[in-house]
Amino acid sequence: MPKECEKRFLQPGKKGNKMDQILNITPGHYISLSVILFCIGAAGVLLRRNAIVIFLCIEIMLNAVNIALITFSRYFDQSRGEIFVFFVMAVAAAESAIGLALLIVVYKQKKTIDVDEINLLKG
């Protein structure tokens, strides 16, 4: 069982055919994609100052997590991960509606959505 488990995740045992290794898509590939997308999203949140782009980067991060959840759900032969992704999507929809409404309210007051210039709570 452990041997099979390891083989299904990364296929480290196969050393012979390089082409086979590339063409064999394992859960490790999907998790790598998820990690790369999450880091792009995190970089965007830290680097950009436009509040809408920060919002878009948060959506990228949520999607990266969704890929990881579905990958592990398939890997462990369960449907819980998929259900969780469903709820993540519901929360993302609610969040986007509220967040964008808040952005419009802030824009009406400050005439900008640059996060460096929005300091309404600064004492």
Residue among 14 and 35 whose Cβ is closer to another protein: 35
Applying CB under 8 A, the site for another protein has a residue count of 78
For residues 50-109, which are near another protein according to CB under 8 A? 50, 52-53, 55-57, 59-60, 63, 66-68, 70-71, 73-74, 76-80, 82-83, 85-87, 89-98, 100-105, 107-108
Report d(CA 88, CA 103) in Å as an integer: 22
Cβ atoms 35, 71 nearer than 8 A: no
Cβ atoms 69, 81 nearer than 8 A: yes
Q: How far is the CB of 120 from another protein (least distance, A)?
A: 15
Look up residue 101 and give its two tokens: 């409404």
Q: How far is the CB of 102 from another protein (least distance, A)?
A: 7
Residue among 22 and 121 whose Cβ is closer to another protein: 22
For residues 31-50, which are near another protein according to CB under 8 A? 31-44, 46-50
| C-alpha distance across the termini of the chain, in Å | 60
Q: How far is the CB of 123 from another protein (least distance, A)?
A: 22
Report d(CA 57, CA 60) in Å as an integer: 5
17 touches another protein (CB under 8 A) = no
Report d(CA 117, CA 20) in Å as an integer: 53
